[in-house]
Chains A and B, each alone.
Chain A
Amino acid sequence: MPDKLYQERWAQFAQGDPDVWRELIGREIPRLYGLFLRSWPNRSLAEELVQRTVFDAVRGRGGYDPSKGSPEDWIVGIARNNIRLEIRKRAGRPSPNGDIGRYFEAIDTGPLPDEVLEREETAGMVRLALSRLESKEQAVLEAKYIQELAAGEIALQMGTTEKAVHSLLYRARLSLRREIERLTSEIKK
């Protein structure tokens, strides 16, 4: 693309052209997600930071100057700033060490620390707990939390009613929790 076209596009971005923004955000989300995942192997945190970066860009678009570079570089700059903020936030809190089982005991009363989610043993334990569930329970958990489908869509996919999906989800969550508890106590022993 010739330089002039780039400049035009950047100017449209600076003016807040919705079509240009839609295209650019769509292209940048996977890149930002990868950038955050490289910093911390934590998909929930990566999503949170991607959202924060995109909304920081939308709210601070007045600060973008096309003469200083491309919108892509400007957004990556915002993302890097969010990484710095996250590092500072983490430095100010105690890191969980030793046995992580105690965090899972409080799974329904408080948020699990990011540092626990980022441990390889956590991912392994969840995979194992998941494999011990009934196939229907595994499917419904994956549809809701990984594919992020609405209850109606899950019902269509599974050939059942929304109400049945809600009750299956309820049971699946409890089963997963029970399996995780069982595994953490096995590890303790």
Chain B
Amino acid sequence: MKDRSDNLPGNDCSTQLDQNISRLLKAASNSSQPGARFTESLIDRAVDELMQTRAAGKNRMSWASGPPWLEKSLGWAAVVAAACSAGLVVIASILLKMSFLLQAVVVSTVLFNWFTYLGEYIR
């Protein structure tokens, strides 16, 4: 997790001896405070990650909270799509002479999948 690229070239950092020596020297040090470099670098990386997750969240939200007409049209499109697929399944199951229980299971599965998909998309 820790970024060590600012310290030495990759081949130096990656050796086990290097890592163990770093840990041993820290063990022998008397300081009870974290190093300034460590603190600065950790703050920068944490804030960077925070900004990235915020930006990703904003992008998703701006899509979901776009113009009101878009949300309304999408809602209606979702209802129509779910109804059409349920109707299609009912017709197909009648034509294939499926039992009522099987029809109910298939229709509810289709509806459930549609709502889950659309719900996730809009969220």
Contacts and interface: CB of A to CB of B under 8 A. Distances in A.
Nearest to A174: B17
A105 to B, nearest CB: 12
A14 interface: no
A25 B7 contact: no
Of B28, B32, B54, chain A has the most CB atoms within 10 Å of the CB of: B28
Contact of A146 (B20, B26, B54): B26
Given A47-B34, A122-B24, A145-B26, 9 more contacts: A33-B32, A43-B26, A44-B26, A44-B27, A112-B20, A123-B28, A126-B27, A141-B21, A166-B8
B32 to A, nearest CB: 6
Interface stretch (A1-9, A49-57, A81-89): A49-57
Interface residues of A, number: 57
A79 interface: no
Contact of B54 (A16, A59, A126): A16
Contacts of B7: 144, 148-151
A173 B23 contact: no
Interface of B: 1-2, 6-9, 12, 15-29, 31-35, 37-39, 42-43, 46-47, 49-51, 53-54
A21 B26 contact: no
Interface in A129-170: 130, 141-142, 144-151, 166, 169-170
A108 B37 contact: no
Contacts of A21: 46-47, 50
A169 B35 CA distance: 20
A122 B27 contact: yes
11 contacts: A43-B29, A44-B27, A46-B34, A47-B2, A51-B1, A107-B20, A117-B27, A141-B21, A150-B8, A166-B12, A173-B18
A144 B25 CA distance: 10
Given A18-B50, A42-B27, A150-B7, A145 B34 contact: no
Nearest to A47: B38
A166 B9 contact: yes
